Amino acid sequence: MPKFTIVFNDDSTKEIKAESKNEMIRNFSIEDATAFQADVKEIRWEEGNFCCIETISSGKISKTLSELMEK
């Protein structure tokens, strides 16, 4: 199951496992639909070899290539 990291406006974080980003948002905001947009700054997750960051205020998704480091 994919793992999403929610970054709040105060820069605290919370990790949530969900089948999809939409399911995670739906479960997060079941009681208060506006709380997610008001309290969350960004969502982070991995997609294949990419690290993805969605900025909630703009809806913009940035993808950067993850580099695997061998020791």
pLDDT tens, position by position, 3-54: 999 999 999 999 999 999 999 888 887 766 677 888 999 999 998 889 999 9
Local confidence band at 1 (pLDDT 50, 70, 90 cut-offs)? confident
- Given a cut of 90, is residue 71 above it in pLDDT? no
Residue 7 falls inside a structural domain: yes
Local confidence band at 67 (pLDDT 50, 70, 90 cut-offs)? low
How far is CA 23 from each of CA 16, 26, 67, 68, rounded to the nearest angstrom? Answer: 10, 5, 28, 28
Number of domains in the chain: 1
> What is the domain extent for residue 29?
3-65
Residue 71 falls inside a structural domain: no
CA gap 59, 1 in Å, rounded = 23
Residues 6+ apart with CB under 8 A from 62: 52, 53, 54, 55
- Residue 42 buriedness (CB in 10 A; 0-12 / 13-18 / 19+): buried
Residue 70 falls inside a structural domain: no
Global confidence as pTM: 0.80
Greatest Cα-to-Cα distance within the chain, rounded to the nearest angstrom: 45
